[in-house]
Structure formats: C-alpha cells, structure tokens
A and B are shown apart, each in its own frame.
Chain A
Amino acid sequence: MLAETRLRLINIARYPGQMATEIIIPIVFASMPMLLGRATAGADAAANFAANTGTTNYVAYLLIGSNVFTLVSNAFWHIAYWLRFEQETGTLEAIYLTPTSTRLLASGVAVYSVTRGLISSSLAYLIGCLVFQVDPFEGNVLLAVAFIFVGLIPLYGVAMLFGALVLKVKESNALIGLMQWVVSFLMGIFFPISVMPLWIKIIALMFPPTWMTNGVRSALLGVGFFFGKWYLDWAVLWAFMMVIPLFSFRVFHRVEQGIQRNEGVGQF
C-alpha cells in the first residue's frame, strides 16, 4: 500500500506547476465572492455576512469552504481518475491479475490523495489568510483538525462508490467535473445549508463533507454546530466513518466482479 502511495507522490513531485496551481485555485476561488461582497456591500459587508452566516470573518469562512472543497474534489479526482487512467492505458486488466488486492491499491491511492490534499489545502488556507490579513489560528484549531481527520475516511468511502460508477459507465472527466460541483453545493462551500430548500438540506445532511465543513467552521469561527454541541456532530461523522467505507468497498467489489465476468475490465 505504501509503495503505491510513494509511487504517486514521486510522480506528482515531478510536476511542481500542478502543485502550485492546487494552492492558488482555492484562494482565487474564495476571493471571487469576497471581492464582490466587499465592493457591493461596502462597509456593511461583514455585518450582512454575519446576519446570513453567523460570522463576520467572511475571509476565513470562504477560505475554509474552498479548501475543504479542494480536499473533497481531490478525493473524487484521485480515486476515480486512477481507475479510469488504468482503464485507458490498458493496465487495469494487469492489475486484476496481480496477487495484490485492489482494496490495498485503492487505499494506497487514498493515502497519497489525503497527503497531497492536506498539504495543498493547509498551505492555501494559511497563504489566503495571510493575503487577506486574518488570523488563521482563530478558534479551536485542534477540534477543526479532528473534524477533518474523521471526515476524510467516510469521504474516501464516498469516492470509492464514485470509482465504482466510473468503472461501470467508463467515463470520468465529465462525471467528476459535475460531481465536484454538486458536492460543493451540497456541503455549503460558500454559504450555510440553511439557505437550501428542505429536501436538498436533507440530502446535504446525508453527505459527510457537509458535517466536515460545518464542523471546521464552527470550531474556528463559532457559526454553530448542527446539533448544538461539537461531540454530537463529531459522533455523526464517526457513524459515517463506521458505515460508509464498508458499504462502498462492498459495492466496489460487486462492480469489479461484474465487469470481470462481462469482459468489462479491458474495455474502455
């Protein structure tokens, strides 16, 4: 598993431009609504934002959203694109013939993806806070980190489910592109989920990144946990952590078996 992680880390180290882009993108992305808000609301920007979201610190609020989004889209891109890439290059068939389990390989890719995502999003958050002159260490940083770490496991579980879909429909780019924006919307990347209609809110609450984003925001900015107390929200993420990975490995395994039986591994 670690060999798979190392292989991918060595590979990405060869593309520093890509890494730099990954740090710049969340900052630029968060700055769009920030600049619009500042220009249109003027002196009332912070007060209006607080009335709608629960905090005057809109810089940190938006940066948290865009950086959690980076973690989430990394999970989807790396898992799904790994499978699709192997499919396209014709090596997926070979992988299924080796004695190594695909679960182990997928875990190796997930560890690589988490390492890459955590490094780039932490740097993006710190640099973004520095550029927009806010304190990045405001609030309970340890609690925020705890929400991220517990949230990452079910997130990769969901990414595996998505990987199974990519194996099945043999398409990645468009699906990931769409999925990452659906996810950004559901997790409330730049707004609280309270602005959504009830039925969308229910779907959003069934999705681990929503709890992760709100947990981090509540820990750092005090916007309020969904259940009022941090440990209750954290417990929900733990519940996701227990259920989702097992469920997604099961689904993934079934899809794998299906495509192995129906000549689908080598086709793309």
Chain B
Amino acid sequence: MTTAPKTQPKLMTGMAAWWDTLVVSTQKELTIMLRYPVEFVASFAQVFIIVIVLTLAGLMFSKNGAVPSKGTSNIAGLVVYGFILFMFLSDTLWGIGYNVRREQKQGTLEQLYLSPASKSLTLLSRIMVTLIWTGSLCILSGVLMSTMIGRLPFHNLPLGLFILVMALSGTFGTGFAFAALTLRVRETGQTIANLAQFAFMVLCAPFFPFSALPDWLRWVSRAIPLSYGVDAFRSTLMGFPNGFPELAPFGLELVIVIAFGVLMPMIGFRLYQLEENRARKKGSLSEY
C-alpha cells in the first residue's frame, strides 16, 4: 500500500529553478570530490610541489640562488599571475571539457540528458567547482610562491580583477568548446587536452615574459586571445613596468580580452549544444 505525500513538492520555474539546479549540481560535484579524500589531498599537495619545483628552477638563474628577493619582485608577479591563469585553463580543460568524458565512461551522461534539469547548468556547475577549488589553490600557491621569490606587486587591483574575470569567462568558453570536441573525438580528448595545456604553456607565456619567445612564435601568440589575457592581467597588477604590456598597446589588449570574455562562452556553449544534438541524433551519447 502506498501513502500519498502530505505536501506536493513545490514546482519551481524561471530564475528560482535555474538557481536551485545550479546549487544542487554544484553540490553534487563538490560532494563527489570530497568523497575521495586521497584524490582530494593528493591533488592539493601536487599543486604545491609543482609550484616549488618551478620556482626553484627559476631561482637557479638569479644571482641570489634559492634566496627570495627583498621587497617587491616583478619576477614573482610575472610567474604567479601567469600561474593563476594556467591553473584555471588546465582545470577548465580537464574539469569542464574532459569531465563530459567521465560521465560518458560512467554511463551517467545519458541519464543526465533524460532528467528535466537544464543541460547548460551541468556545465555551469563545473565552473562553480573550478572557481571554488582552483580559486583557493591559486590563492594559497600565490602566497607560497611569493614567500619563495619575493613580495607580489599589487597595483590597479580593480582593473586587474576585471581583466581576470574576463579572461576566466573566455577560458570557461574554451572549456565548453573543448567539451564539444570531447563528445566528438572521445578518448583522443585526453591527448588533445594534454597538447592544449602544453601549447598554452609555451604560446601564452604564463611562466615567462613574451620577450623570451622567438619573433615568429610571438606572432603565433598574438593570434591567441588568451595571450592578451595573460599579458594584460600581469602588466596591470605589476603596475605597467617598462616593456609591459608586451603584445599590443594596453587599450587594444583590453578590447580583445573583453571580446574574448563575452563572445567565447557563447561560441563555446553553442558548439556544445550542436555537438550534443548531433550525439543524441546519432545515438552516440553513451558510446565510448
């Protein structure tokens, strides 16, 4: 015998439903993350060791060796601010783009598409996780790096934050586009994510100034909008020292970064929708 519920669940619509789904999806992602403490702690520790390794490597070229410089260090700014964007791009590629593959492998992607929840929110919830998780990692590793290299320069904070938000928005759009690509190429997505990450490390110069690149390669960098994000973000926070920004006049860089931040999420999401529809029509959503 079944008993009818005393109260009917409240049917949510509009903004309330959107917000509730986003919160629940984010909660789901965070809960899964916290249920694997080994993975959680390991990935946290891993970032710190990478930071220490790269910082020590850079210090081998300084006169003082592994001794932090007194006062504000532009090298610290150069590396730390680039590192922040690298972390976000890397987590976006894996966390948003390649995560679709995880759902596919687990066999839960088909179910997600059968639920009445908004499809876009499952992608957005991953952004929330990336913002919370990667954001805290960035703050902590920034502190660690600045104790090792020297105090971080902090100029034009509001403008710097605005550029960061725009660059991140564009990066998340890139993540959506990558999720679309992963739906199409499946396992090859892993190799592409690796290559994209390494291409970013060289072409967008997050750990060194663009002047270190050969001239012809700098032209390739100029063709990537995220390069302007890296350049404008660190130049702003470093207080525009001599030679910065390196790729274009600041005004032009700002326009490119804003366009990237506004257009890329739309393009990325549209690409994802197209690929998702294609996969549903072909019946390849749960194939892997």
Contacts and interface: CB of A to CB of B under 8 A. Distances in A.
A169 B38 CA distance: 9
A49 B36 contact: no
B57 A195 contact: no
A35 B56 contact: no
A40 B207 CA distance: 11
Secondary structure type dominating chain B contacts: helix
B202 A33 contact: no
A130 B63 CA distance: 28
Contacts of B59: 52, 191, 195
A185 B49 contact: yes
B194 A21 contact: yes
Given A32-B54, A39-B208, A191-B56, A178 B61 contact: no
Nearest to B40: A174
Secondary structure type dominating chain A contacts: helix
A185 B212 contact: no
A58 B61 contact: yes
B60 to A, nearest CB: 5
A177 B57 contact: no
A244 interface: no
B188 A191 contact: no
Given A21-B191, A51-B63, A174-B46, 19 more contacts: A21-B195, A24-B198, A28-B198, A31-B202, A33-B61, A35-B205, A39-B212, A40-B58, A40-B78, A40-B208, A41-B61, A52-B62, A52-B66, A58-B60, A171-B36, A181-B49, A185-B49, A189-B57, A195-B65
Contacts of A241: none
A37 B27 CA distance: 43
A33 B188 CA distance: 29
B52 A178 contact: no
Contacts of B1: none
B61 A37 contact: yes
A182 B49 contact: yes
What class of interface size applies to chain B in its complex with A? 35 or more
Given A53-B60, A58-B61, A189 B188 contact: no
B212 A35 contact: yes
A39 B188 CA distance: 35
Task: Rank and list the top 7 A-B pairs by shortest CB-CB distance, nearest first.
Answer: A37-B61, A190-B57, A33-B57, A174-B39, A174-B42, A39-B212, A35-B212
Interface in B57-82: 57-63, 65-66, 75, 78-79
Given A45-B61, A49-B61, A17 B50 contact: no
A103 interface: no
Interface of B: 36, 38-40, 42-43, 45-46, 49-50, 52-54, 56-63, 65-66, 75, 78-79, 188, 191, 194-195, 198, 201-202, 205, 207-209, 211-213
Contacts of B205: 35
B200 to A, nearest CB: 10
A178 B194 CA distance: 17
B253 to A, nearest CB: 19
22 contacts: A24-B198, A25-B194, A32-B57, A33-B58, A35-B208, A39-B212, A40-B209, A45-B61, A51-B65, A52-B59, A52-B65, A169-B38, A174-B43, A175-B42, A178-B43, A181-B53, A182-B49, A184-B53, A189-B53, A189-B57, A190-B57, A195-B65
Nearest to B195: A21
Nearest to B211: A39
A52 B63 CA distance: 8
B56 A195 contact: yes
A182 B201 CA distance: 21
Contact of B208 (A36, A53, A184): A36
B208 A171 contact: no
